[in-house]
A = this chain, B = another copy of it.
């Protein structure tokens, strides 16, 4: 893949617990930051319930639309863990025991502890490649451009290191943040002008409230450091003219 090609990804979060409000998803920001560092742009996230048809249909849309898809959740031992079976169906592959995963878990557990519930975790789509799990044994897996990770944030994080070499990104996406002691409406017009002059730089404006004071963070994102620098100096130019205090940059 050409290093300059823009590479994108989506996340499919599988979990009733996110939709019920019981659990706060944090995997999106973990994966987003990690993907950025690899030069992959996260373009879409979908959260869907633990329902096979919904998972299959959504995955089949996302895997054709994006370079990479990361699923989170649903690869544990219980009845509501249906990700591996659903991914098999989406790819029209057999759902079967993965021999290497079986061996890993057989030696991970004490004799007699590798019970039927745990054996469910070695069922995967035919042809799946393992994603090793240094935290709790049970591996995730990938098939074509789809990477299936667990929902537990600490376990997911521990598995990203082993995954890095399987992801081929473009140029890393760089960013600079300029934090100002102002409100958005004071800078809105000037910022619009800068955005118009820098169409291929992404400029975001985010109000914040910190230590009792209001402010705005301007985030400038691009693959090119020189474009970021040029855009940032145009921003600082109007900031100085307006005598707005720069809190941090």
Contacts and interface: CB of A to CB of B under 8 A. Distances in A.
Contact of A204 (B48, B80, B202, B209): B80
A22 B117 contact: no
A186 B114 CA distance: 10
Given A32-B21, A42-B19, A116 B189 contact: yes
Interface size bucket, A side? 35 or more
B46 A117 contact: no
Contacts of A23: 29, 206
A118 B45 contact: no
A188 to B, nearest CB: 3
Contact of A20 (B36, B79, B191, B207): B36
Nearest to A150: B207
A28 interface: yes
Contacts of A187: 78, 117
A43 interface: yes
Interface in A78-116: 78-80, 115-116
Interface string A209-222: 10000000001010
Interface string A1-31: 0000000000001001111111111101111
Interface in A175-213: 175, 184-189, 191-192, 195, 202-207, 209
B184 A78 contact: yes
24 contacts: A16-B202, A16-B221, A17-B206, A19-B43, A21-B28, A21-B30, A21-B32, A22-B204, A22-B206, A22-B219, A44-B47, A44-B48, A45-B47, A46-B46, A78-B184, A78-B205, A79-B192, A79-B195, A80-B204, A80-B205, A115-B185, A117-B185, A117-B188, A120-B188
Interface of A: 13, 16-26, 28-33, 35-36, 41-50, 76-80, 115-118, 120, 152, 154, 173, 175, 184-189, 191-192, 195, 202-207, 209, 219, 221
